[in-house]
């Protein structure tokens, strides 16, 4: 079964949002136009409590994009984003969600960040996505969304480790840091994962 995983196409990551990804809104029509090519469509949604440990506002004297250490792991501090129940946490209003069968929320534990759609950053808790996809019979998993160099990349890595045949749809994704994304793309191809365009599906 050919499955599409759409990651974090939410208002706070759009231009004007609290953690804006450059030109993020450009991927919305691309994602809409390719959905008919898939047997199964699921999405991931950043869904943070307002006291989340990754928010700079919850650390005295710290600013957004500072780096600290939490439980022995490096943690980038972010602007408050995708707070549960807020407009910023909602999916972009132009995104076609009619064919989506499930949404997996991540980052819900205030004590640990969660970039991947599959696990938190410490791999302590699963979102249940892997088991769901295997139960559904997913053979090929196509990933896209925001941000390409963070949540999409970590989701690709975990999907690969879970045994899925993965494809990264580049024109349906946008990175937060386009320069650093060059290294991320090399990591993706080094895993043997194909980087494709939506037209090639």
Domain residue spans of the chain: 2-48+89-200
Residues 6+ apart with CB under 8 A from 161: none
DSSP state of 40: E
Distance CA 117, CA 151 (A): 7
| Superfamily the domain 2-48+89-200 falls into | Isochorismatase-like (3.40.50.850)
Cis peptide upstream of residue 147 (ω within 30 degrees of 0): yes
The active-site residue, picked from 12, 46, 113, 151, is 151
Tokens of 165: 């045949």
pLDDT at 72: 85
pLDDT at 70: 86
Q: Mind listing the pLDDT tens digit for each residue in 3-55?
A: 999 999 999 999 999 999 999 999 999 999 999 999 999 999 999 999 999 99
Query: How many beta carbons lie within 10 A of that of residue 50, not counting itself?
Result: 13
pLDDT at 158: 98
The active-site residue, picked from 12, 46, 106, 158, is 106
Does 71 score more than 90 pLDDT?
no
Tokens of 50: 């307002």
pTM: 0.97
- Per the annotation, the verdict on 151 as an active-site residue is yes
- Per the annotation, the verdict on 149 as an active-site residue is no
The active-site residue, picked from 8, 12, 46, 158, is 8
Helix (H) or strand (E) holding 70: strand 67-70
Distance CA 53, CA 108 (A): 11
Residue closest to 178 by CA, chosen among 19, 11, 26, 22: 22
Are the C-beta atoms of residues 194 and 165 closer than 8 Å to each other?
no
Q: Which CA distances in Å does 27 have to 8, 67, 142, 171?
A: 12, 29, 15, 7
């Amino acid at each position: 079964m050919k499955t599409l995983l759409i990651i974090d196409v939410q208002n706070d990551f759009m231009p004007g949002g609290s953690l804006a990804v450059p030109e993020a809104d450009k991927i919305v029509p691309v994602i809409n136009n390719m959905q008919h090519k898939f047997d199964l469509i699921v999405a991931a949604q950043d869904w943070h409590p307002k006291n989340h440990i990754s928010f700079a506002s919850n650390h005295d004297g710290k600013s957004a994009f500072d780096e600290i250490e939490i439980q022995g792991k490096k943690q980038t501090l972010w602007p408050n984003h995708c707070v549960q129940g807020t407009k910023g946490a909602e999916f972009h209003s132009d995104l076609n969600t009619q064919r989506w069968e499930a949404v997996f929320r991540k980052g819900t534990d205030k004590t640990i960040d969660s970039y991947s759609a599959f696990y938190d950053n410490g791999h302590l808790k699963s979102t249940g996505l892997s088991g769901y996809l295997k139960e559904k019979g997913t053979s090929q998993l196509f990933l896209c969304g925001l941000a390409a160099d963070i949540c999409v990349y970590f989701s690709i890595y975990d999907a690969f480790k879970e045994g899925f045949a993965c494809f990264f749809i580049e024109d349906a994704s946008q990175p937060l840091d386009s320069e650093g994304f060059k290294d991320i793309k090399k990591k993706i191809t080094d895993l043997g994962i194909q980087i494709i365009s939506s037209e090639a599906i």
